[in-house]
Structure 1
């Protein structure tokens, strides 16, 4: 891949009249301060067509002022080369948000909907230097103990369990009934937590990434969930990520452990379900893939890479904070001002020149530099196996509505469908799909074993969840979210989980 030599030439160009970024240009208004007129990265218009917004921002230059939520200002990088520069530069830019100028000046309310995604947590994502290396080491060392073959087998069994639930209906919402449930089943197993205590996990993650009015409450729910998990594994350690991190030489404190596990869970559920759903949408709607669904794994891998290039699940993130006042691509940035990278915009930067993306994985969807996602390999395994299993079981599946009529969830950080309705010929043959390890065999390395379910009609039913005296009590029912898509997604999954 090569870049045109003039990639920085437009860095200081004045945006055209009418551009929302005009008032924030260093030559207009208050120099170096993001303007309130920065282009919003929230609301239905942005969710419906984010790439149109990125194109408007590019008219400003490789970096432009934006609003993440009302009154929360930042800069967004849309240039691939500038993204590489900033994401790799630990001298001028910090991950630690405790120097966030607007927050320290009281201009970010404590209940800001984007706060849970940007404010400091004592985890590897929000630390720099030695603290980051220590915390990240506990994560990477534990993830490397996962057996990819055992992980693949567990995802396949989980997928069969879910498909069995709707295969005889001839229709399904692949978001709520499949893509949202796969990460929950997998991560509950990898963390060694009884399945019933993960009932609300997908809903928690959805509220966090939507960055709506429920985000702060969801943040506390996640902390409570993880505290219960840690208490369970201290009492009953096993071959799981939680137990491995508890025993790691870094000797994580209770809060450190809680924060690292929350980070892994947040990064492994909502983005994972969006990767699965977005790739399924591409396979079912794009002529480049739709005619080759029965051709093996190559089209699926290509679709995953295409999504990671054009519609990555975490579209705008990689937050950095300027360590001092500086000039960046012709824009004056003040100390403590946030700079986000649009992975989606940088990956589709017109300044990139390439003969094609087939087989090319130089995209920024996993970020780059010291904070590159450490879970790329298991994430690809989970997504590819889930997609391939669905297409193998339902080869004639098709979208129930035209692709352009599908709704996308609003929010500044993710690229997330609201639903993915499909139809397919009814199939009545169920596949044995107990989510526990096979009978009379030890659990594969890296995958903890759960008790096996009873026999029923010659098939083994899914295992009963493990109960634990140190697990948190059942949570009281709550008022459904005002977000209709989120309510439908969670309601469908909850009904499945309860056997309804």
Structure 2
């Protein structure tokens, strides 16, 4: 069966719609399963039905019954993204866009519409644009950004630490990535609730998405003009000054895709990691026992709950075969990140620990692999660790089954993550952290368990004797070296 086989009977007879609850419910023209509507509220279950029916590559229907292939296999997804001679991201080649099957008002048009950016370009143009992005990414001071993530986390936690309760999606996970991305791009003054809401709203295709997009582009084009006139040592300036000589429009469009994609992915990742740490007995036991670091917990989350469930579409540049299916030239395919990550051929036991295994599909692969994945990991690593350090007794403030999710074809994220903890005093955000290298060693705190109260205050500095000894020898002691590291000296 091919995804373009839209006529179920070959006649003009009307086809009845099965009632809700019927096994055929959610089946569209041609007997194909729909990836939208109330029938597809649990897309994970739909993917598994498709896998059982068709194997690693399955035909399905997008909104308005637009045909598409869903790549469900881990190996098949990697082959698709790593073989640009056969598959590309240039949606102008997609037959459904060429012949009008996809209407201009299609709800997924923001994903389909071709743009002059590296993620849609091929060949020499892709090398030029991606080279500029990679060059700008290479200039990011990762040590300085990790310090900024820590300080931003302290500022966010300060806003609710005295209350003893918080909602970690809206008060933490949705803000930390934007604070960091504004700093990286060179516009820290633009961080506020409005830019957070616009970045969350724009990819959803809501009634306000166009206004949100206009607001973001206004912010980014003003930044582009400012840095074109007065360059500084930030991502935007390096993107502008790269030998690829991007135009202002190209700079602005790339800044938008980088800001929105990085924000959305990292906000989802932060919420997912925090949920797992608070609810999953495997993680709580291993964290408490000092056997799993926060970075390892992040990688497990990237396997089990990737920030983006799918990326669409890829387009076949020629007739080919994938996963036992004949793919026609100009057919569209979905990069199935979530279903590929649970492919039983690579994960026969979904409860098995994937510690140390980074072969998940969360960041794509091939020429269009996410260029900023290390920044996303750093935000999650440092942010989660710093929050748990400030609130070691944090625990879920509701039953796990009361948590709700909002899912689309592109991603699935938590709506809320309410927590409670013993009230804590605010902290000086510029102070030396309790353990600045914490994300590089195992965690031994009791997550989700109230801590016994003692009269001993938290240590704020190493013992005096070692410092005096170091001063006597003229060499800086451990405290002084850590302090210099923290300040970036």
Which of these residues, 353, 370, 374, is aligned with residue 377 of structure 1? 374
Pair 1:431–1:337, CA change in 2 (3 A): same
C-alpha spacing 1:289/1:44, structure 2 compared with 1 (3 Å): farther
Deviation of 1:345 after TM superposition, in Å, equals 0.8
After superposition, residues 292-441 of structure 1 pair within 5 angstroms as 292-293=286-287, 298-317=292-311, 319-352=313-346, 356-427=353-424, 429-433=425-429
Shift of 1:293: 4.2
Instruction: Confirm whether residue 190 of structure 1 aligns to residue 156 of structure 2.
Output: no
Aligned partners of 1:226, 1:291: CA distance in 2, in Å? Answer: 44
Classify the secondary structure of the residue corresponding to 2:115: coil
Go from structure 1 to structure 2 and tell me whether the alpha carbon gap of 1:261 and 1:392 turns closer, same or farther (over 3 Å shift).
Answer: same
The alpha-carbon deviation at position 295 of structure 1 amounts to 5.7
Give the structure 2 partner of residue 291 of structure 1.
285
Check the 8 A contact 1:43/1:411 in 2, yes or no: no
Conservation of the 8 A alpha-carbon contact between 1:161 and 1:434: no
- Deviations for 1:227-255, whole angstroms, at most 9, x for unmatched residues? 12212322332111001111111100111
Task: Decide whether aligned partners of structure 1 residues 192 and 221 sit closer, same or farther in structure 2, where only a CA change above 3 A counts.
Answer: same
Pair 1:174–1:386, CA change in 2 (3 A):
same
Q: Number of matched residues?
A: 412
Deviations 1:192-221 (A, max 9, x none): 114346542222232233344444443333
Distance in 1 (alpha carbons) for counterparts of 2:224 and 2:369: 26
What TM-score comes out, normalization by structure 1 length? 0.76
Q: Using the alignment, how far apart are the partners of 2:353 and 2:162 within structure 1?
A: 40
2:126 corresponds to: 132
> Which piece of structure 1 moves more, 335-344 or 317-326?
317-326
Structure 1 CA distance for aligned equivalents of residues 92 and 380 of structure 2: 34
Cα 1:68–1:162 change in 2 (3 A) is farther
The CA deviation at 1:416 is 1.3
**Structure 2 match to 1:145:** 139
Look up the match of 1:204: 198
Cα pair 2:6 2:29 within 8 Å, conserved? no
Shift of 1:87: 1.2
- 1:449 corresponds to: none
- For residue 44 of structure 1, report the CA deviation from its aligned partner: 6.3
Unaligned runs of 5+ in 2: 11-27, 433-489
CA distance in 1, matches of 2:34, 2:210: 21
Residue 376 of structure 1: how far off its partner (Å): 1.7
| 1:123 aligned partner | 117
TM-aligned CA distance change 1:35 to 1:196, over 3 Å: same
1:110 aligns with 2:107: no
Secondary structure of 1:106 counterpart: coil
SS in 1 for 2:275: helix
Distance 2:271 2:178 in 1: 14
Matches within 5 A, 1:432-471: 432-433=428-429
- Equivalent in the alignment of 2:226: 232
Structure 1 residues 170 and 318, CA, compared in 2 at 3 Å: closer, same or farther? Answer: same
- Stretch deviating more after TM superposition (379-388 or 331-340): 331-340
Aligned residue number for residue 220 of structure 1: 214
Larger relative contact order (CA 8 Å, sep ≥ 6) = 1
Shift of 1:280: 0.7
Between 325-334 and 391-400, report the one with greater CA deviation. Answer: 325-334
User: 2:79 aligns to what?
Assistant: 85
1:432, CA displacement in angstroms? 1.1
Match of 1:55 among 48, 61, 71: 48
2:117/2:253 contact within 8 Å kept: yes
User: Which residue pairs with 2:486 in the alignment?
Assistant: none
* Partner SS for 1:298: coil
- Which stretch has the larger CA shift, 50-59 or 205-214? 205-214
Distance 1:151-1:220 versus aligned 2 partners, 3 A rule:
same
| Cα separation, 1, equivalents of 2:312 and 2:81 | 7
Q: Report deviation, 1:26.
A: 10
Secondary structure of the 1:281 match is helix
Cα distance, 1:297–1:430 mapped onto 2, change above 3 Å:
farther
1:129-182 C-alpha deviation (Å, 9 max, x unpaired): 111111111111111111211110000000000000011111111111001100
> Could you tell me how far 1:41 is from its partner in structure 2?
3.3
Change beyond 3 A, Cα 1:226–1:175: same
Asked if structure 1 preserves the Cα contact closer than 8 Å seen for 2:112 and 2:312, the reply is no
The residue number in structure 1 matching 2:259 is: 265
Distance across 2 between alignment mates of 1:83 and 1:26: 25
Q: 2: distance between equivalents of 1:271 and 1:382?
A: 11
Pairwise mapping of residues 239-250 of structure 1 onto structure 2 (< 5 A)? 239-250=233-244
Question: The residue matched to 1:352 in structure 2 has which SS?
Answer: coil
**Contact 1:294 1:395 (8 Å CA) reproduced:** no
Q: Distance in 2 between matches of 1:41 and 1:73?
A: 10
The runs of 5 or more residues in structure 1 that have no matched partner are: 1-13, 15-20, 438-500
Cα distance in 1 for residues equivalent to 2:237 and 2:189? 17
Q: Deviations over 1:404-460 (max 9, x none)?
A: 322111311112111111111111x1111269x9xxxxxxxxxxxxxxxxxxxxxxx
